Amino acid sequence: MVSISRRTTLAIPCVGMLALSLKAEAASPADSALAAMPAWMELASVPGVSWAMMDAAGTTTSGAIGDAKAGSIPATPDTLFEAQSLSKVILAVAVHDLVRERLIDLDRPVAEHVDYTDDAATRAITPRHLLSHSSGLPNWRDEAGEPLVSASAPGTRFRYSGEGFALLGRLVEAVTGQTAAQVVEARVLRPAGMSRSSYGWAWGAQPAVAWPHDGGGAVLPDKGPADYIRRRDAGPLKPVDRWTLADQGKAALANGKPALPLFMTPNMAAGLWTTAGDYARFLAFARHYPALSTPTVRVKDTLDWGLGWGLERGASRRFAWHWGANDGVANLFVVDLASGAAIVILTNGDAGRQVYERAARTVFGREFDAFAWLK
């Protein structure tokens, strides 16, 4: 507990005097969450957290707690964490920007631009289906030669699909003539002020990055940055955000994997490296795209999916949210759609969900049905 408290103090200059210096009776919900977070991290064996909170006025505070690599590298507000599936919402906003310019029609079949399947029913999938996870496509394929086929009629039911967002990336490339990562950088990352965020780093660069850790808090040495470097070094000597589909496929094969989206770099559904502060700036930027919050397909009870993120209906409030998870990584954002208040929690621990759930409950003063559904 002493070492965690000391590392928490190191993050304080980035955000001013926070909850640790306030009397308990004067603490706001956000202050209370920050004060309790080191204890939650200790209980869940989560080494590091990148956090950001945005109030109703749009004022954002952000920082880091703990270690980027357990016991050896402290986390800072500039440490890059793996966004994982939070990457999907970034791509969704780029798609909406292209819709605004009439380069993409939400209700025209993707197959008009991308030849991706021989199945007639699957060729009826539209960008609206992909954004709302109602395409019927699987999450990921992992066997060479496995066809891309919908399990249900597009638009009829919710089925979470990374493949769907990989296909959206291909659509973006087809209508712009650029890589999807280039389009996202020009239309989202730069305008939103996400100066630290990217789909990777170049040869010779050594940015401060968070390593994933298992449920006991031990480093996963073959995941995270090590996995990215292995994928990068198997491809051409140019930035990964400039890799074409052919480049991506060759790199996957060089790593002994099928040329399928799950094994390709950059993965537009899960490949962003970012900080919580950068991601909070994105959430403020995303207010310009209200179509994200259009309820499109029912998930369950109070939960729907919009055109890019999850939606939860309460008695008098509506929330947008998304989670991201992989081995040793667990992330979440939640936005109060009425006030604009938001929280972003990025963790480098397998049990990070135990931290971000408590933080969201404390900040918003409610239980979230989405957390029960995720279980």
**Helix-helix angle 225-233:245-254, to 10 degrees:** 110
pLDDT (mean) for 121-145: 97
CB 124 within 8 A of CB 156: no
Residue 334 has pLDDT above 70, yes or no: yes
pLDDT (mean) for 290-305: 97
Name the token pair of 207.
């940015």
- Which residue type occupies 239? P
pLDDT (mean) for 104-124: 97
Using CA atoms, how far apart are residues 174 and 181, in angstroms rounded to an integer? 13
Q: Please report the pLDDT score of residue 26 as a whole number.
A: 60
Residue 339 has pLDDT above 60, yes or no: yes
Q: Please report the pLDDT score of residue 312 as a whole number.
A: 98
Name the one residue in this structure whose structure tokens are 């074409």: 244
Using CA atoms, how far apart are residues 202 and 185, in angstroms rounded to an integer? 16
**Percent above pLDDT 70 for the chain:** 93
Name the one residue in this structure whose structure tokens are 């502060």: 277
- Pinpoint the alpha helices (H) of 80-211: 87-100, 127-131, 162-176, 180-184
- Which residue type occupies 113? H
Q: Could you write out the three-class secondary structure of 290-313?
A: HHHHCCCEEEECCEEECCCCEEEE
Residue 256 has pLDDT above 60, yes or no: yes
pLDDT (mean) for 41-48: 98
pLDDT (mean) for 97-125: 97
Residue 199 has pLDDT above 80, yes or no: yes
Name residue 297's beta-bridge partners: 305
Omega within 30 of 0 (cis) for the link into 38: no
Residue 173, CA atoms < 13 Å, CB-side half-sphere:
18
What are the residue boundaries of the structural domains of the chain, listed by start?
2-83+271-374, 86-189
pLDDT (mean) for 119-147: 97
Residue 227 has pLDDT above 80, yes or no: yes
- Which residue type occupies 308? G
Q: Is 61 exposed, middle or buried (CB count within 10 Å of its CB: 0-12, 13-18, 19+)?
A: middle
Q: Which of 306, 339, 290, 323 is nearest to 53 (CA)?
A: 339
Top-confidence residue, 57 or 251: 251
Indicate whether this model's pTM tops 0.85.
Answer: yes
Task: For 142-164, write each residue's pLDDT tens digit.
Answer: 999 999 999 999 999 999 999 99
Residue 185 has pLDDT above 60, yes or no: yes
Task: For 11-40, write each residue's pLDDT tens digit.
Answer: 333 333 344 343 445 679 999 999 999 999
Q: If pLDDT is split at 50, 70 and 90, which confidence band does 58 have?
A: confident
Residue 114 has pLDDT above 80, yes or no: yes
Residue 300 has pLDDT above 80, yes or no: yes
The count of other CB atoms within 10 Å of the CB of residue 372 is 11
pLDDT (mean) for 299-321: 95
Name every residue whose Cβ is closer than 8 Å to that of residue 106 and which is 6 or more positions away in sequence.
99, 126, 127, 128, 131, 307
Using CA atoms, how far apart are residues 293 and 280, in angstroms rounded to an integer? 17
Task: For 61-103, write each residue's pLDDT tens digit.
Answer: 999 999 999 999 999 999 999 999 999 999 999 999 999 999 9
Q: Please report the pLDDT score of residue 23 as a whole number.
A: 43
Q: Please report the pLDDT score of residue 1 as a whole number.
A: 25
Q: If pLDDT is split at 50, 70 and 90, which confidence band does 237 have?
A: very high
- Pinpoint the alpha helices (H) of 1-152: 2-11, 29-44, 87-100, 127-131
Q: Which of 93, 70, 80, 54 is nearest to 335 (CA)?
A: 54
Name the one residue in this structure whose structure tokens are 């918003």: 364
